[in-house]
Amino acid sequence: SGGHYKPPHCFPRYKSAILVAYRNQEKYLRHLLYYIHPFLQRQQLSYTIYLIQQVGTGSFNRAKLLNVGVREAMKDEEWDCLVLHDIDLVPENDYNLYICDEYYPKHMASAMDKFQYTLPYNSFFGGVSALTPEHYMKMNGFPNTYWGDGGENDDIATRIHLAGMKIVRTSPHLGRYRVMDYNEETEIPDPWRRPPSHHNTRKTWKADGMNTLQFRLLSRTKHPLYTKITVD
């Protein structure tokens, strides 16, 4: 119920919140839930899957939705780890543990089939990542100002460094992910090139993030396989 699970026969060593930004992607959602629940249960984690849904027809804001998810998830539990998960990615290796690195933010999707199982560029932090609540607050969360342009992953990578941390990566043979049914048309024209940034992260990161997060919580409902948080 509500996408919450803890192992019945042992005391879990880790508690992880899985946060998924969402808008009208029912097919992807069904695929992800089908694969991710057994995967996490085999790792004997205590976890909850949160779907953060944006209403309306305006531009999608993944980064801000994840900020909302963190804020709401932390009301439920003292989570050890916040796993930020794209809806169209499925992990291929059971040994890719959905737990945080003790010291630094961890990029987990280090080898996606879409990019021939290599990184598209060195600072890439997209797909799936894991941060402790302390990491998340130290970098002031994600930016709230990225509407529809997808460049937020590079902003986040920059924030991590500005906050005095570094990115650690899951090794490529473990961090393998399949991208579900992606359309060729929606890819960046050259996926190996970093998208241009229109934001001056160095100037804005302390004033744009968790400390300036504003939203209207419309509903919070428990579904059989996830908790849905709907926001404006």
- Per-residue DSSP letters for 166-214? --EE--TTTSEEEEPS--GGGS-SSTTSPPPP-S-HHHHTTTSSGGG--
More confident residue, 86 or 158: 86
CB 41 within 8 A of CB 10: no
- Could you tell me if 5 and 47 are in contact, meaning their C-beta atoms sit under 8 angstroms apart? yes
Range of lowest pLDDT (20-24, 196-200, 216-220):
196-200
Distance CA 37, CA 133 (A): 22
**Over 90: is that where the pLDDT of 207 sits?**
no
The whole-angstrom distance between residue 216's C-alpha and the CA centroid of its chain comes to 21
| Chain mean pLDDT for the chain | 88
Was domain 4-185+194-231 assigned CATH 3.40.50.300? no
Using pLDDT thresholds of 50, 70 and 90, give the confidence band for residue 196. Answer: low
Residue 232 scores a pLDDT above 80: yes
How many DSSP H helices and E strands does the chain contain?
A: 5, 12
Q: Please count the residues of the chain.
A: 232
Q: Order across the sheet with 89-91: list the strands.
A: 89-91, 176-179, 111-112
Is 80 a residue whose pLDDT tops 90?
A: yes
Interval 126-148: pLDDT, tens: 899 999 999 999 999 888 887 77
* pLDDT score of 186 more than 60: no
Does 115 have pLDDT greater than 80?
yes
As a whole number of angstroms, the distance between CA 65 and CA 213 comes to 10
> Nearest Cα to 67, choosing from 211, 210, 232, 226?
210
CA distance 36 to 87: 11
Give the span between the Cα atoms of 108 and 91, in whole angstroms.
Answer: 9
pLDDT higher than 50, residue 184: no
Give me the pLDDT at residue 203, please.
75
Beta strands 15-22 and 111-112, pairing class: unpaired
For the entire predicted model, the pTM comes to: 0.90
What's the pLDDT score for residue 187?
A: 44
pLDDT band at 154 (very low <50, low <70, confident <90, very high): confident
